[in-house]
Amino acid sequence: METDYKKLISESTAPFFTRQNLEVLLGNNRRTLDYRIRSLIKAGLLDTIKPGFYLNETLYQKSSAPEELARYIGCEIVRDSYISLEYALALYGILAESVYTITNVTTKKTRTFQSKLMSFRYRNIKPGLFWGYTQRFYGDFSYKIASPAKAMFDFIYLTPLITDQLTREFLFGSRFNWTVFTAADMQEFKEIVTKSKSKKMSKILQYLYERQ
């Protein structure tokens, strides 16, 4: 029987499993299920991302686009979320540094999940600012990702900037590739700031226009 359930998981095309999924596949006896999940993790077939949520490690290792799969997984761990902040900015080439943690914005609480294969960080934003993303497809699956302008807005909005000097250093240091941030991105950023009615972001917008 042990070989059968390991084969069942290793041949599955599901990107991830919840504990409820595994109850259906492996049996709902608690002690037996716990033993089998531990065995699957030890065998390198499952990777625990958070309690009750497991990556199909076999599928991930065989994937031709593992980073796309990781982005999809990130939006499934916390359903009310979209990719934004550092990860999205680095993906667009706007942030001049490598980012390995997938960063999402959510209306739920701030938290981090770390497994042996991937890392996810979620930052809380108020429901009134939960927009500005598009849907990308990964095979039969999809995930949400902020536009360059919204990713920039989210990143600055959620970064504490106490003084004018710190704000200018943050904006105009070597961290951002502003040449990648297009005129269309800037126009969208302005529209987002206006819609947000944020005094902090209105000041940021003023700094950016002064620098142009």
DSSP 52: T
pLDDT digit string, tens, across residues 44-74: 999 999 999 999 999 999 999 999 999 999 9
**CB distance 177 to 94 below 8 Å:** yes
pLDDT digit string, tens, across residues 68-124: 999 999 999 999 999 999 999 999 999 999 999 999 999 999 999 999 999 999 999
Which pTM was predicted?
0.93
pLDDT digit string, tens, across residues 150-195: 999 999 999 999 899 999 999 999 999 999 999 999 999 999 999 9
pLDDT at residue 4 is higher than 90: no
pLDDT at residue 28 is higher than 70: yes
What is the pLDDT, as a whole number, of residue 204?
A: 97
Is pLDDT larger for residue 144 or for residue 138?
A: 144
On the CB side of 68, CA atoms within 13 Å amount to: 13
| Averaged pLDDT of the chain | 95
**CB distance 14 to 73 below 8 Å:** no
201 band by pLDDT with thresholds 50, 70 and 90 = very high
Give whole-number Cα distances, 181 to 9, 90, 135, in Å.
44, 12, 20
DSSP 206: H
pLDDT at residue 144 is higher than 70: yes
Tell me the three state secondary structure of residue 200: helix
State the average pLDDT over residues 129-146.
95
pLDDT at residue 20 is higher than 90: yes
What is the pLDDT, as a whole number, of residue 192?
A: 98
**CB distance 73 to 16 below 8 Å:** yes
What is the pLDDT, as a whole number, of residue 1?
A: 45
What is the pLDDT, as a whole number, of residue 139?
A: 86
